[in-house]
Amino acid sequence: MTGFVQIIEWSTSRIDEVQALQDAWRERFPEMGPSRVMVCADRKRLGTYLTIVEFESYAQAMENSTHPATHEFSQRMAELCNAPAVFHDLDVMGSEVRLPTGRRAAMT
């Protein structure tokens, strides 16, 4: 199993504007970025969110992070947040999915 995941923890009181920014960015750059993105709201800390982004490799993630569009997005996102984001960079060591049958299968 290979891959790279980044978890970004951020807070905002302007979630509607953040969602509009994310939608506009995806619309503008549909081919760019991670292979999967999940945005999650923390149930215990109102206004705190985590974005989980998956890349095929660390190299692909670093290439994405140096792209001017990513820099533009990050700057605009920072303007909408209450505090600087916290980044967690993770190498994927394994992953599995539960199938409809209830069995689990390793993802490759």
Q: By the 8 A CB rule, do 1 and 94 touch? A: yes
pLDDT of residue 66: 92
Handedness of CA 8, 12, 84, 73 (dihedral sign): positive
Burial of 13 (0-12, 13-18, 19+ CB in 10 A): exposed
Per residue in 13-62, pLDDT tens?
Answer: 999 999 999 999 888 887 888 889 999 999 999 999 999 999 999 999 99
Q: How far apart are CA 17 and CA 22, in angstroms?
A: 9
Residue 45: strand, helix, or coil: coil
In a domain, 102, yes or no: no
Q: Specify the CATH number for the domain of residue 32.
A: 3.30.70.100
In a domain, 45, yes or no: yes
Residue position matching structure tokens 């292979």: 35
In a domain, 105, yes or no: no
In a domain, 38, yes or no: yes
Q: How far apart are CA 38 and CA 9, in angstroms?
A: 12
Output the furthest CA–CA distance in the chain (Å, rounded). Answer: 45
